[in-house]
Amino acid sequence: MNNLKEGFRYGLISYGIILYLNLLGIPLNFGDIVLTIFSLLIGLLSFAFLRKRPNHLRKNLRNTLVQGLIIGLVSGLGLSIVTYIFASLQKDGINVAQVFAQVKPEHTGALTGLTKEEVLGDVSVLPGLLQLTLLFTFAGFIGSALTQLPVEKLRKQFDSKSGLKTISRALFVLPFFFYGLFMLLKVEGVQIAGTEENNLGMLFIFLFIGAALFALRAVEPGRQKSILVILLVVLMLLLPHFADLKQNAILGVVGIFIVMGIGLNIVVGYAGLLDLGYVAFFAVGAYAYALLSSPESYVVLNLPGFEGVNFWAGLPIAIIIGAFAGFLLGVPVLRMRGDYLAIVTLGFGEIARLLVLNLRDYTGGPGGVINIPAPILFGMDLGNPRDILYIAMAFGLIVTFFTVRLRDSRLGRAWIAMREDEDVAQAMGINLVAIKLLAFASGAAIAGMAGALYATRQVNIFPDNFALDVSINVLSLIIIGGIGSLEGVVLGAIVLIGLPEILRTVDEYRIVAFGALLVTMMIVRPEGILPSTRRKRTLHVHEDSESTSTK
Amino acid sequence: MVVLSSQGVTKKFGGLVAVNNFDFELPQGMIVSIIGPNGAGKTTFFNCITGFYEIDEGIILFDGLLLNGKSPDKITRMGIARTYQNIRLFANMTVTENILVGAEPHLKSFWFEAIFQTRRVKLEELEAQQDAQRMLNFVGLKGIGDQLARNLPYGSQRRLEIARALASKPKLLLLDEPTSGMNPQESAELMRFIRNLRDELGITILLIEHDMRVVMAISENIYVMDFGTKIAEGTPNEIQRNPRVIEAYLGRGIATGLKTQTAKTKASNQ
């Protein structure tokens, strides 16, 4: 029974992911092959979930296969129900796109193998949905079956014969090769879409992914991580190309918030300094770049001969000014802890906004700064949403790198020790003043970086862009994702920033949804969706002690 | 040679004089205890030494240098380490990480070096890790370096706290009730361990302790505090016979009772 429940839970998580992608309008991007992509994803999720379980469960063949089937079935049925509702509404002439901007009749058609006219007409979507459910179930099953490959044995065999090792590596390249071929054919106008070819295509992709996973597990364990990183980078590079303008714009905002989240995570997650005025540094970075670059800004207009800097020169300046602002605001709050610190920083955040609002002569006041130039690289204008997304990704990678290095260093240890017990940390010879200021400054530097990117993305910035809710959003996303965890920041931003962007049209209700989500999270999973291992342990102390005492 | 000395140290909390005009001397390489009833001001005196409290009057000297007004981290860097009455480990860090934090005074690398992973950082980190392993072996916590400090049994947590203090390679170690909550066997083991510290590493040790068996067995000199004032000072033998100490511990009535009783028995014997 427990077994079914676990499968059901994984199924619901997979369903959540699929639904999110669905509302983001992925079916429109991929047209007829969306089912292939989704099935593939279900297979991968099933594989990932089931592989992570403890050994004795993973080795149980029947158990694993049943769970795989449930994962596929739950997510398939879930998506079918939603799609059926959308289709019925669309048949009745209700425009679902008013609420979910991306859900159009074509969207429903892509999922059910019908055309737009058929969806709106008399053709039933049920056969298509049945096919969808079956495909997902099959995919979940395949994913679970993949976990049963005797990889350890195979790896040993590969290691003993260097020739086979090469083959296993070659297998790893295959999927990309075939995928490229697949896309090429599509571009050339060869119709692979349509239901039958669709399934065939899926079978192919499945074989390739299987081979990739196989190859991944056949290489030495030490190398797996780097291969995963490469896979992820490739995925990230491909992603913006498949997305349309609107999706790229949404993902761009998500990216900027991920960068900010990583920065605030240093201050709140590692150093344990509750900062509610983080938006101040975001504003500082944005205005620093805006004032130095916009031809209409006070600085450019009043400095004779100064034409304004370009993005790549403005960026480091924004970062440095941001860090300096963090340092300055850090000094007066050095001796404050917990609630007091939170209240004071909250005030700072508002002061920053009021300053840019009221220093009319310099910042343009409510009129903001307009015509902020886009980043230009080798003569290419990178101002469009897709390139902004790429820049945001690059920034995300850079700050992740810096953060991980700092976290694992002497400084990171000192931060965490300070979070655990400030007095004892000081008694261990840690200079609290230095590490607090470093935490504030590095967090603020990252916010400054995000701010500069935000300014160039928005072209025109106004004081209202830097209100309290930015601070709260960033804080919420790290709380929901899991305080102190970098993966959590990414996931938190996708859920918390991406979802409201999808539901833009029902803007008024998103704050309500936000609140409900936060409350639910605090009750159900206070450590966040993907907590850092340490934080998870802190928040479940009582359950631990209970479970040990009952045993 | 005197490692630590204080003259006329006074610490007040509002109207309460927690430590009153306390004179104190701790010679190099000795094990000295401070005892006294609850609320006598022993831990407050510790906090004054380590810089956690700023003293109102008097001076504290360590190695001939004035400690007054120095922050706790600077004092630790000068060579004083301490443990706490109620264990205060970094509960959600691993055992090794706890010790690495303790070794902080000996780490020299800058934060930006960590970003670029310079040779110096790598070397320093490797050495610190190896030192931490050695320290774990020394205190008998071998092989559990990756466990969270919180999950250790009580006795091991005490040991870890001492190990963390030792990681800063102190000249002077302040132990605040190290045997509290231990059974007789564990305390005996800890006593041996503390003696080893002094004998092998040459660390001077200052203890606060309530367990009189431990105090009398281990101390070479004892200071007795009551209501913030020093009421006695001397070897364990002298302290055991000091009437003021008995009075402080057992109360005036009982002390006089004891006295009269001994007088009576003496009289009856004669």
CATH code for position A419: 1.10.3470
Dig out the tokens for A364 from the structure.
Answer: 């343009």
Does position A319 have pLDDT exceeding 90, yes or no?
yes
| Residues A309 and A419 both lie in one domain | yes
Q: Which of A183-187, A380-384, B252-256 is least confident?
A: A183-187
Q: Are A399 and A446 in contact (CB under 8 A)?
A: yes
| Residues A209 and A292 both lie in one domain | no
Coil, strand or helix at A369: strand
| Residues A303 and A399 both lie in one domain | yes
Q: Note the pLDDT of residue A24.
A: 79
A154 falls within a domain: no
B17 falls within a domain: yes
> Chain B closest CA to A520's CA: distance in Å?
25
* Residues of chain A neighbouring B109 (CB-CB closer than 8 A): 409-410
* Residues of chain B neighbouring A534 (CB-CB closer than 8 A): 92-93, 148
Dig out the tokens for B33 from the structure.
Answer: 């205890």
**Last-in-domain residue among A149, A178, A210:** A149
Q: Are A366 and A462 in contact (CB under 8 A)?
A: yes
pLDDT range class, residue A439, cuts 50, 70, 90: very high
| Residues B163 and B175 both lie in one domain | no
For every residue of A8-72, DSSP letters joined together read HHHHHHHHHHHHHHHHTTHHHHHGGGHHHHHHHHHHHHHHHHHHTS-HHHHT-HHHHHHHHHHHH
Q: Which residues of A touch B (CB under 8 A)?
A: 402, 405-406, 408-414, 416-417, 420-421, 423-432, 438, 534-535, 537-538, 541
Q: What does the CA dihedral A174, A178, A184, A185 come to, rounded to 10 degrees?
A: 160
Q: Note the pLDDT of residue A446.
A: 95
Does position A516 have pLDDT exceeding 90, yes or no?
no
Please write the tens of the pLDDT for every residue from B35-87.
988 888 889 999 999 999 999 989 999 988 888 888 999 999 999 999 998 88
Q: Does B88 reach chain A within 8 Å, measured CB to CB?
A: yes
> Chain B closest CA to A155's CA: distance in Å?
29
Task: Find the closest chain A residue to B108 by CA distance.
Answer: A410
Spatial distance between the Cα atoms of B83 and B76, rounded to a whole number of angstroms = 12
Which residues are CB-contacts of A402 (< 8 A; sequence separation ≥ 6)?
Answer: A442, B115
Q: What CATH number does the domain containing B245 carry? A: 3.40.50.300
| Residues B51 and B178 both lie in one domain | yes
- Among A411, A421, A428, select the one facing B114 at the smallest CB separation: A411
| Residues A249 and A280 both lie in one domain | yes
Higher pLDDT, B150 or A197: B150
pLDDT range class, residue A550, cuts 50, 70, 90: very low
| Residues A75 and A219 both lie in one domain | no
User: pTM of this prediction?
Assistant: 0.82
A535 falls within a domain: yes
Q: Does B1 reach chain A within 8 Å, measured CB to CB?
A: no
| Cα A550 to Cα A150, A215, A544, distances in angstroms | 37, 44, 10
B230 falls within a domain: yes
pLDDT range class, residue A20, cuts 50, 70, 90: confident
Q: Comparing C-alpha atoms, which of A367, A478, A428, A355 is closest to residue B101? A: A428
Cβ-Cβ contacts under 8 Å between A and B: the total is: 89
A549 falls within a domain: no
B84 falls within a domain: no
Residue A537, burial from CB neighbour count under 10 angstroms (0-12, 13-18, 19+)? middle
Q: Note the pLDDT of residue A541.
A: 47
| Residues A118 and A236 both lie in one domain | no
Q: Are A314 and A455 in contact (CB under 8 A)?
A: no
Q: Which of A428, A485, A544 to mutate: most B Cβ within 10 Å?
A: A428
B239 falls within a domain: yes
Amino acid identity for residue A241 in this structure: H
| Residues A382 and A524 both lie in one domain | yes
Which ipTM was obtained for this model?
0.88
| Residues A61 and A187 both lie in one domain | no
Q: Does B183 reach chain A within 8 Å, measured CB to CB?
A: no
| Residues A268 and A217 both lie in one domain | no
DSSP-derived letter for residue A375 is P
Q: Note the pLDDT of residue A424.
A: 92
Q: Note the pLDDT of residue A189.
A: 39
Q: Which of A178-182, A244-248, A443-447 is least confident?
A: A178-182
How open is the CA angle A83-A89-A90, to the nearest 5 degrees? 85
Number of H helices, E strands in chain A: 28, 2
How many distinct structural domains can be found in chain A? 3
Three-class SS of chain B: CEEEEEEEEEEEECCEEEEEEEEEEEECCCEEEEECCCCCCHHHHHHHHCCCCCCCEEEEEECCEECCCCCHHHHHHHCEEECCCCCCCCCCCEHHHHHHHHCHHHCCCCHHHHHHCCHHHHHHHHHHHHHHHHHHHHCCCCCCCCCEHHHCCHHHHHHHHHHHHHCCCCCEEEEECCCCCCCHHHHHHHHHHHHHHHHHHCCEEEEECCCHHHHHHHCCEEEEEECCEEEEEECHHHHHHCHHHHHHHHCHHHHHHHHHHHHHHHHHHC
**Last-in-domain residue among A212, A242, A272:** A242
**Last-in-domain residue among B167, B195, B229:** B167
How many C-beta atoms lie closer than 10 Å to residue B211's C-beta?
A: 18
pLDDT range class, residue A266, cuts 50, 70, 90: very high
Contact state of B107 with A410 under an 8 Å Cβ cutoff: yes
Contact state of A411 with B164 under an 8 Å Cβ cutoff: no
| Cα A365 to Cα A20, A361, A395, distances in angstroms | 38, 7, 29
N- to C-terminal Cα separation, chain B: 48
Structural domain containing residue A328: 245-543
* Residues of chain A neighbouring B148 (CB-CB closer than 8 A): 534, 537
How many distinct structural domains can be found in chain B? 2
Structural domain containing residue B127: 89-167
pLDDT range class, residue A185, cuts 50, 70, 90: low
A97 falls within a domain: yes
